[in-house]
């Protein structure tokens, strides 16, 4: 006897399970004739805790506790073709729904990926300045360090500010498109560095850029040390936002 194909829609606790057991569940398209060896298409039901008509697994029936069914009629072959066709139509419809959902999620995913990229570049550059560039220039002496800091600050400001603003806007856009509150929080964290720079760090930047500041003075050395500590806040904010976005991307399709 040829095996037949059936579809069942029920609550699915673990979509990745190797076997499923259902009690008194109704099957679609002639389930009274189900028997051992038949092919079963399992759908997660939106009415039973699922997320809509989502094709979970294709399985073969290995056991049936129903009462023995009467022998299949002579027209079982025609019925088999009809049931198989209907089951395949149901499967194709679910797969089309999944494909459309993935296409709808793609633009929002791109926004979140772009936000993560900009945040990662910002965090990497900021941490490099704290751990490598600033300590290296201070080792050359206060006068040389100040001379190097001025053009470095001027060039770095344009890059860091652009990355922070781009990451913030992309995160807000992804949140508005439905990527979740976590993306918005990460965007607010990376966006925080802009007002922090303008309000907290800028007075120190202005003093260090003053041409009347004596380059080798203790005051210049103190200002450089203060600037490095304040810049570490930006590095920490960038690193935190980057980790949050990475974890969110890793845990959500």
Looking at the fold, whether 95 and 116 belong to one and the same domain comes out as no
| Boundary residue ending a domain (100, 128, 148) | 100
Identify the CA nearest to 12 among candidates 25, 1, 30: 25
Looking at the fold, whether 29 and 112 belong to one and the same domain comes out as no
Looking at the fold, whether 186 and 209 belong to one and the same domain comes out as yes
Looking at the fold, whether 48 and 157 belong to one and the same domain comes out as no
Q: Which domain holds residue 200?
A: 105-251
Dihedral angle sign, alpha carbons of residues 7, 11, 14, 18: negative
pLDDT of residue 74: 45
Least confident of 21-35, 191-205, 210-224: 21-35
The set of residues, in sequence order, having a beta carbon less than 8 Å from that of 34 and lying 6+ positions away, is 4, 6, 27, 40, 61, 64, 66
Considering only CA atoms, give the Rg of the chain: 31
Model-wide pTM > 0.75: no
| Boundary residue ending a domain (100, 127, 149) | 100
pLDDT of residue 69: 46
At 73, the pLDDT band (50, 70, 90 cuts) reads very low
- What would the mean pLDDT of 219-228 be, rounded to a whole number? 96
Looking at the fold, whether 32 and 66 belong to one and the same domain comes out as yes
Q: What is the pLDDT of residues 99-113, one digit of tens each?
A: 445 545 556 789 999
Looking at the fold, whether 185 and 80 belong to one and the same domain comes out as no
Looking at the fold, whether 70 and 139 belong to one and the same domain comes out as no
Mean pLDDT of the chain: 79
| Boundary residue ending a domain (59, 77, 100) | 100
Looking at the fold, whether 31 and 127 belong to one and the same domain comes out as no
Contact 130, 228 (CB under 8 A): yes
Tally of structural domains, the chain: 2
Distance, in Å, from the CA atom of 39 to the CA atom of 36, rounded to the nearest integer, reads 9
Q: What is the pLDDT of residues 135-178, one digit of tens each?
A: 999 999 999 999 999 999 999 999 999 999 999 999 999 999 98
């Amino acid at each position: 006897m040829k095996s037949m194909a059936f579809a069942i829609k029920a609550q699915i606790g673990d979509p990745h399970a190797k076997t499923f057991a259902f009690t008194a569940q109704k099957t679609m398209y002639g389930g009274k004739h189900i028997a051992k060896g038949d092919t079963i298409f399992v759908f997660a039901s939106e009415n039973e805790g699922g997320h809509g008509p989502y094709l979970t697994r294709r399985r073969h029936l290995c056991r049936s506790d129903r009462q023995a069914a009467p022998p299949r009629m002579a027209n079982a072959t025609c019925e088999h073709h009809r049931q198989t066709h209907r089951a395949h139509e149901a499967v194709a419809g679910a797969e089309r729904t999944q494909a459309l959902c993935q296409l709808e999620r793609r633009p929002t995913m791109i926004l979140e990926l772009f936000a993560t990229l900009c945040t990662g570049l910002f965090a990497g550059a900021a941490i490099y300045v704290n751990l490598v560039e600033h300590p290296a220039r201070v080792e050359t002496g206060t006068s040389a360090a100040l001379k190097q800091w001025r053009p470095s600050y001027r060039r770095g400001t344009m890059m860091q500010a652009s990355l922070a603003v781009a990451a913030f806007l992309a995160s807000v856009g992804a949140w508005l498109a439905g990527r979740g509150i976590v993306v918005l929080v990460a965007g607010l964290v990376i966006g925080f560095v802009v007002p922090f720079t303008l309000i907290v760090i800028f007075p120190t930047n202005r003093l260090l850029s003053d041409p009347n500041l004596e380059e080798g003075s203790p005051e210049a050395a103190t200002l450089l040390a203060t600037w490095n500590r304040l810049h570490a806040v930006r590095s920490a904010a960038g690193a935190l936002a980057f980790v949050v976005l990475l974890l969110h991307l890793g845990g959500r399709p």
